[in-house]
Amino acid sequence: MEKVLGFLKQLSENNNREWFQDNRKWYEESRDKVLFITDVLINEISKFDSSVRGLSPKDCVFRIFRDVRFSKDKRPYKTNFGSFICTGGRKSMNPGYYFHIEPGSSFIGGGIYMPPAPVLKKLRAYMADHAEEFLEIGNEKDFKKQFPEMYDDKLKLAPKGYPKDHEYIELLKYKSFIYSASLENSVVAGPNYIDEMVKRFELLYPVNAFLYDALV
- Over residues 44-68, the pLDDT tens digits come to 999 999 999 999 999 999 999 998 7
The domains located in the chain, with CATH, are 2-215 (3.30.930)
Which amino acid is present at 89? Answer: G
Note whether 5 and 101 are within 8 A (CB).
yes
pTM attached to this predicted model? 0.94
Based on C-alpha coordinates, what's the Rg of the chain? 18
Write out the H or E segment, with its range, that includes residue 107: strand 106-112
Neighbours of 152 (CB within 10 A): 8
All residues at 6 or more sequence positions from 46 whose CB lies less than 8 Å from its CB, including other chains: 52, 53
Give the end-to-end CA distance of the chain in Å, rounded to a whole number: 38
Q: What is the pLDDT of residue 93?
A: 87
Confidence of residue 1 (pLDDT cuts 50, 70, 90): confident
Q: Rounded CA gap, 79 and 178, in Å?
A: 22
Which amino acid is present at 180? Answer: S
Confidence of residue 73 (pLDDT cuts 50, 70, 90): confident
Q: Rounded CA gap, 187 and 79, in Å?
A: 19
Q: Rounded CA gap, 182 and 56, in Å?
A: 25
What are 138-188's pLDDT values in tens digits?
A: 999 999 999 999 998 899 999 999 999 999 999 999 999 999 999 888 888
> Using CA of residue 4, residue 10, residue 16, residue 17, what is the dihedral sign?
negative
All residues at 6 or more sequence positions from 20 whose CB lies less than 8 Å from its CB, including other chains: 11, 14, 27, 76, 77
Which amino acid is present at 94? Answer: N
Neighbours of 44 (CB within 10 A): 19
> Nearest-CA neighbor of 49 among 194, 212, 216, 214?
212
On the question of pLDDT at 189 being above 90, the answer is no
Q: What is the pLDDT of residue 191?
A: 87
